[in-house]
Structure 1
Amino acid sequence: MTFTDQLRKDNDDIFQFILSHPFVEGIGKGEVPNKAIEHYIKADFEYLNAFMKIYGIALAKSTNRKEIAYFHKKIDFILNDEIHPHRNFCDYIGVNYEELQGHPLPPTADHYIKHMMYHAQMGNLGEILGALLPCPWTYLEIGRELIQKYNPSNTHPFYPWITFYADKSVENTTREMCELLDKYMDHASPVEQLNVKDAFRKSCQLELQFWEMAYNYEQWPSKEKVTSNE
């Protein structure tokens, strides 16, 4: 069993929670509250901006041109391809994509970005990969699960979203990242392995919380909110 195979096995509980989350189930059923989708896009747009920056840090820590080319390609994928699922969501709620860009992060998204940035700044390349990998991996499994469970036709409101994440491009991203992480872990110390496992686990947990954040319109505590709940 490879290192990443073991990571997946050890975190199956979180993966299953994600696959059964009401937001994810709602995508499969074609019924997600507009407000939840809007909250998701606002946060995910900024999250993906941060993801590209962390890829940039990984590129800077690369040891050869093959790795540099890999991370450069991944930045391009997010920048030019991963906008399509967002636009599908925007079309569904009838809101212009540009209107949902540049908004403050809710608490969970803010924490998730800072968690990844910590590992990017403080850790080696293996640790960065451990923190980043749950994002494409969980989305790949979501796409595959929704295809299998709901078999959506091209008239399904979220057909472009579902098929994008079930597609070979996301599968290749996940596989390549796993292969690169396995390569690094072959020569990692026990401490380095523990750091990667911790980074991966927390990113899985934060992926779950990201869906929860969007579904429940998570906001920062404020005087107005406290007053309204009294």
Structure 2
Amino acid sequence: MGYRFSDLTDACHQDWRAYLEHDFVRALGAGRLDEGAFRHYLQQDYLFLVHFSRAYALAAYKSRTLAELRQAFDGLKTILDVELDLHIGFCREWGISEDDLARLPEARATLAYTRYVLETGHRGDLLDLHVALAPCLIGYGEIANWLNTQAFTVRGEANPYDAWIAMYESDDFQAAMHDERAWLDARLAEVSPRRFQELSRVFTEATRLEIDFWQMGLDRRD
């Protein structure tokens, strides 16, 4: 029997839980997150999405089949036409204009994470790239689901960050998350133990960089 995505999370269980259950996430779910910390995170997350779209363009280049090429195109189009527009609108509600976003410098945590993903994609194959991106795409969906199981989570108007949770618990995002897991399960089932260890290192490093991204927002540091 081959490997599955759950084997990647099992291989870095402590880091994966530290990412999903970070203090930033807990404070956001409880509606207690400092507004300045959330604004800083929102701005840097916009920059991450720009690089995320570049990663999907790289995925198109790395594709070997028409199905993979279409998958990469769909991902890129979704980010550019849907997610970035939603994010810009979300930022506007928090007093951050599109001009403000265009002038943003990248925080060190943003630089480290995005360049790691792109460098992994350049030196590896399509599976390496997807594994490097998985903590973001799959992780955010799991975070929304986890928050909805916690007694401390506040939903509705009492939580200023309710719209963030709603974005990642949405049917569209959850469907994208499940599609990505299924894609990874199918590819991981075919890899050797040595190859899995390589991919596990990629996934673990990307997860740790996600933790640093949360901490950057919490500390409001550049």
Report the TM-score range of the alignment, normalised by the length of the smaller protein: 0.7 to 0.9
1:156 aligns with 2:159: yes
Counterpart residue type for residue 169 of structure 2: A
**Alignment partner, residue 176 of structure 2:** 173
Superposed displacement of residue 96, structure 1: 2.5
Mean alpha-carbon deviation: is it higher for 115-124 or for 190-199? 190-199
Bigger Rg, structure 1 or 2 = 1
Mean alpha-carbon deviation: is it higher for 64-73 or for 154-163? 154-163
Pick closer, same or farther for the CA change 1:154–1:80 going to 2, 3 Å.
farther
**Equivalent runs, 1:195-214 vs 2, <5 Å:** 195-214=198-217
Q: Deviations over 1:78-122 (max 9, x none)?
A: 22332435633542x433244133412111111111111111100
**Alignment partner, residue 83 of structure 2:** 82
**Alignment partner, residue 185 of structure 2:** 182
**Equivalent runs, 1:140-151 vs 2, <5 Å:** 140-149=141-150, 150=153
Determine helix, strand or coil for the equivalent of 1:148.
coil
**Alignment partner, residue 61 of structure 1:** 62
Structure 2 length normalisation: TM-score? Answer: 0.88
Mean alpha-carbon deviation: is it higher for 210-219 or for 146-155? 146-155
**Alignment partner, residue 227 of structure 1:** none
Superposition RMSD on alpha carbons, in Å? 2.1
Pick closer, same or farther for the CA change 1:199–1:86 going to 2, 3 Å.
farther
Q: Deviations over 1:152-201 (max 9, x none)?
A: 12563222211110122222222222222233233334443222111111
**Alignment partner, residue 10 of structure 1:** 11
Counterpart residue type for residue 191 of structure 2: A
Alpha-carbon contact 1:147-1:163 (below 8 Å) kept: no
Alpha-carbon contact 2:44-2:107 (below 8 Å) kept: yes
Structure 1 length normalisation: TM-score? Answer: 0.85
- Rounded Cα–Cα distance in structure 2 between residues aligned with 1:2 and 1:39: 37
**Alignment partner, residue 136 of structure 1:** 137
Alpha-carbon contact 2:31-2:154 (below 8 Å) kept: no
Counterpart residue type for residue 166 of structure 1: E
Counterpart residue type for residue 122 of structure 1: R
Q: Deviations over 1:22-53 (max 9, x none)?
A: 22122112232232122212221111111111
- Rounded Cα–Cα distance in structure 2 between residues aligned with 1:72 and 1:81: 13
Alpha-carbon contact 1:52-1:75 (below 8 Å) kept: yes
The 4+ residue runs of structure 1 with deviation greater than 6 A are none
Alpha-carbon contact 2:144-2:165 (below 8 Å) kept: yes
Pick closer, same or farther for the CA change 1:32–1:101 going to 2, 3 Å.
farther
Identity, % of aligned pairs? 22
**Alignment partner, residue 101 of structure 1:** 102
Give the aligned length: 218
Counterpart residue type for residue 97 of structure 2: N
Determine helix, strand or coil for the equivalent of 2:114.
helix
- Rounded Cα–Cα distance in structure 2 between residues aligned with 1:122 and 1:172: 29
Mean alpha-carbon deviation: is it higher for 28-37 or for 53-62? 28-37
Mean alpha-carbon deviation: is it higher for 110-119 or for 150-159? 150-159
Alpha-carbon contact 2:43-2:91 (below 8 Å) kept: no
Structure 2: runs of 5 or more not aligned: none
Counterpart residue type for residue 111 of structure 1: A
- Rounded Cα–Cα distance in structure 2 between residues aligned with 1:70 and 1:22: 34
Superposed displacement of residue 9, structure 1: 2.0
